[in-house]
Amino acid sequence: MSSADRPSHASTPYPLGVSLRADGTANVAVYSETAETVTVVTFDESGSELESTALPEYTGHVFHGLVPMTVGTRYGLRVDGPWNPAEGLRHNPAKLLLDPYAKAITGAVEWDEAVFGHHHDEPESRNDADSAPFMPRSVVVDDDFDWGDDESPRVPLSETVVYETHVKGFTALDPDVDEAIRGTYAGLAHPAAIEKLTRLGITSVELLPIHQFVQDSHLLEEGRRNYWGYNSIGFLAPHNEYSSAGDTGGQVTEFKAMVKALHAAGLEVILDVVYNHTAEGNHLGPTLSLKGIDNGSHYRLVPDERSAYFDTTGTGNSLNVGHPAALALIMDSLRYWVTEMHVDGFRFDLASTLTRQDEDLDRHSAFLDMVHQDPVLAPVKLIAEPWDTAGYQVGGFPARWSEWNGKFRDDVRDFWRGTDGALPALAQRVSGSPDVYENDRRPTLASVNFVTAHDGFTLADLTMYDEKHNDENGEDSQDGESDNRSWGCGAEGPTDDPEINALRDRQRRNFLGTLLLSAGVPMILGGDELARSQGGNNNAYCQDNEISWYDWDKADDALVAFTTELITLRREHPGLRPVWYRHAESDGDRDTVDFQRADGAAMGDEDWNDGASKSLAVLYKSSAEDTVFLWLLNAAETPVEFTLPDESWTLAISSDPDQQVGEKPATLLVRDRSFTLLQSV
């Protein structure tokens, strides 16, 4: 039967979720291999139930049917079937479930025992209390949006500078943004917010999770909130708390308008996505969506104890990426955000978990293969956090991917702390980590370089604190990374000592300079250019307050100007961002990088093995321009005199505000713990 001959009342098993029709109904399709019935329940604005419709058809493990629905309809699912936790079966029709394919969600979870499929004191016993009064609702949305002439900036990786930030935190305290929209998608789209980003010169805004997420019950009980958002429950829905336009679909339109405004300013939008787990937790967690729809198809269960969850995320569960249903949900979500929401890339939280079809990491996993061959995802940026709680996979992703390079963070911090023997590793990092990527014929662009990120100290705190100060998290400061490799520069916390503050200023510039003058893709932690402090809290995941928000009134304007100057240098000079690993002994007319001792001689094996050496000269030559750059780095506690090549040099930038360069100098004194970049003239 052709589609033209099919009766207008017929439903279809695809696409999953809700698809509106012109006749006032919607096609609803829900995947479950183990359910016996799936019922769609609609509600009015007060929360009262309007209508229940059992989906009458079942095709290929998909329940489907036509349901009276229009734009704005609030709804949920009730799924009946076997309750047998020992076999991984957790169906409970008393639980109202979110549609995994919902494009908007209104309300929030209220932490009553009714939202749990089991009784707290008897995990194997089914809890038949109705959860509807305590559950948010899925919402039918209007997909129409006037994108106009919107186009992705499609910034080449070689020109990309990533700025990791938070939708709320960026504008929550911004006096230049209208108070009514601070902390929202509209706030980030405000001309004043966009001007701050474009003036800095970054190319790509990477947003901490904006998929709909759940506020943790224990945090709410303690007066805190999940600020970072790594607790997803809706992979197609923008988080409703970041909307100034309401949460019954307005969040979708407002998110699209934000993307459109950022694109118009030449800025890309990259989403930090959390597909490795959901907010439903382990066997003691709530039943909010997938757990009650088809637990075993969507979550990895322990084979010989299917009441338990295989967990490589540290959150209680891991998505079952070896199953077609879970894979389809992830892939459908990715395609939706690209095609309908116009985002430009993704950073995958704990991406190693997504490569575990069984227990081992697998660079040829179904997830990676599906992403690699998908034409919709071909033009977008893909960035992996290449580890999870069970494994470290830096350098282990396919050529299509870039990776957060944790080695860069650690080795650059060690160098500027003055750690003995740090020089060889620093040379690898500033040249794009060829020791990690070159053997797989991957370019420098495989490495996303960073010194700080949302998880850890801010740059200001890295130079002010030797110890974490996480008391306000309520965990007796046991949370957060202990070996943080920070260096407090002579005092713990703020001080009025001018020498200590001058050293801290240099160190901040050293870190930013190393980040932005190294080969690879630099990622700046948003607010580092302002010298934003969290008071020494290196795990501010639960601090949805002034600890985490950007205080624009306290911005370090000089550091902002320094960061802007670095980004401008990088943008204007291809020689400072080589794509491939080339060294001075390479033949032909090509980019080269050469490492030299302070006396101008080439670095030899003895020099690399000299654990006490803390200075290095890096010579950049580019086939794309005549300019040569000489980068002088000194992490020692005393000045170092560098012998310069026979060129005419001018000062490009330095972390030492007093650095001066004479006319065609033969040598240059670089003060303690500072760098200077020279440019040929």
Express each pLDDT in 110-162 by its tens digit: 999 999 999 999 999 999 999 999 999 999 999 999 999 999 999 999 999 99
**What 3-state DSSP class applies to 652?**
strand
CB neighbourhood size of 588 (10 A): 7
Instruction: Give residue 625's pLDDT.
Output: 79
Active site residue 151: no
Q: The tokens 């116009």 sit on which residue?
A: 342
Residues whose CB is less than 8 angstroms from the CB of residue 365 and which lie 6 or more positions away in sequence, other chains included: 321, 354, 355, 356, 357
In a domain, 377, yes or no: no
Strand partners, 674: 634
In a domain, 673, yes or no: yes
Interhelix angle 366-373/324-339, nearest 10 degrees: 30
Length of the chain (residues): 681
Q: Which two tokens stand for residue 329?
A: 């949900």
Nearest one of 453, 512, 451, 511 to 480, comparing CA atoms: 453
Written in H, E and C, the secondary structure of 380-392 is CEEEECCEECCEE
Average pLDDT for 308-329: 94
In a domain, 110, yes or no: no
Query: What residue numbers bound the domain in which 652 lies?
Result: 592-680
**What 3-state DSSP class applies to 293?**
helix
Average pLDDT for 560-580: 95
**What 3-state DSSP class applies to 378?**
coil
CATH code, domain carrying 630: 2.60.40.1180
Question: Over the chain, what is the mean pLDDT?
Answer: 93
- Residue-wise pLDDT for 379-411, tens only, equals 999 999 998 877 778 888 998 999 999 999 999
**Alpha-carbon dihedral angle through residues 627, 630, 631, 636, given to the nearest 10 degrees:** -170
In a domain, 664, yes or no: yes
Q: Is 315 left (phi over 0), alpha (psi -120 to 50) or beta?
A: alpha
Active site residue 44: no
- Residue-wise pLDDT for 612-631, tens only, equals 899 999 999 887 778 999 99
pLDDT at 572 over 60: yes
Instruction: Give residue 592's pLDDT.
Output: 80
pLDDT band (50, 70, 90) for residue 6 = very low
The CA distance from 16 to 101, in Å, is: 7
Q: Which two tokens stand for residue 207?
A: 């947003």
pLDDT at 422 over 70: yes
**What 3-state DSSP class applies to 566?**
helix
CA triple 478-480-486, angle to 5 deg: 115
The CA distance from 503 to 495, in Å, is: 12
User: Which is catalytic among the residues 241, 280, 344, 349?
Assistant: 349
In a domain, 385, yes or no: no
**What 3-state DSSP class applies to 127?**
coil
In a domain, 609, yes or no: yes
- Residue-wise pLDDT for 439-478, tens only, equals 888 999 999 999 999 999 999 999 999 889 999 998 877 7
In a domain, 623, yes or no: yes
CB 291 within 8 A of CB 299: yes
**Domains: count for the chain:** 1
Question: What is the share, in percent, of the chain residues with pLDDT greater than 70?
Answer: 95
User: Which is catalytic among the residues 385, 411, 591, 656?
Assistant: 385
The CA distance from 167 to 182, in Å, is: 9
In a domain, 490, yes or no: no
Q: Which two tokens stand for residue 177?
A: 């943004």
Nearest one of 379, 383, 386, 345 to 363, comparing CA atoms: 386
Residues whose CB is less than 8 angstroms from the CB of residue 535 and which lie 6 or more positions away in sequence, other chains included: 461, 469, 547
